[in-house]
Amino acid sequence: MSDTAFQQALQRYDDGTAERAELKLLTKTLLNRLVAKAPGHAVEVRIPPYGAVQCIEGPRHTRGTPGAVIEMPPELWIDVALGRVTWAEARLTGKLRASGERTDLSGLLPLT
């Protein structure tokens, strides 16, 4: 995926005209940036329906529900990952669910 495609999708997102394909591209690209910044398997970040990754060093999750899970809608993830919404603000929306250890990503954000 090129930086140009990301920028074009981001422009459509900002214009309010992003379709599923753009939301998916933005979500997956930003999840990949998170993994690059904080590799590991201790925390699972879920952005349904577009993707889920494991990141942050610590105990590896192998079966069942992970001990540390973060889940939010794609639009909130994009805004948080880009620094448009702080982690604290995202928590206050009620749309971000985080349980377990190491589920505060504020020290890793923004991902730009």
Kindly report the CATH class assigned to 3-108: alpha beta
Helices assigned H by DSSP within the chain: 3-15, 20-37, 74-81, 87-93
pLDDT tens string 57-88? 987 766 667 789 999 999 999 999 999 999 99
The answer to whether the CB of 50 falls within 8 A of the CB of 33 is: no
Which two tokens mark 3? 């930086």
pLDDT tens string 12-44? 999 999 999 999 999 999 999 999 999 998 999
Write down the domain spans for the chain.
3-108
The answer to whether the CB of 52 falls within 8 A of the CB of 44 is: yes
Residues contacting residue 61 through CB under 8 Å, at least 6 positions apart:
41, 42, 44, 54, 67
pTM (two decimals): 0.93
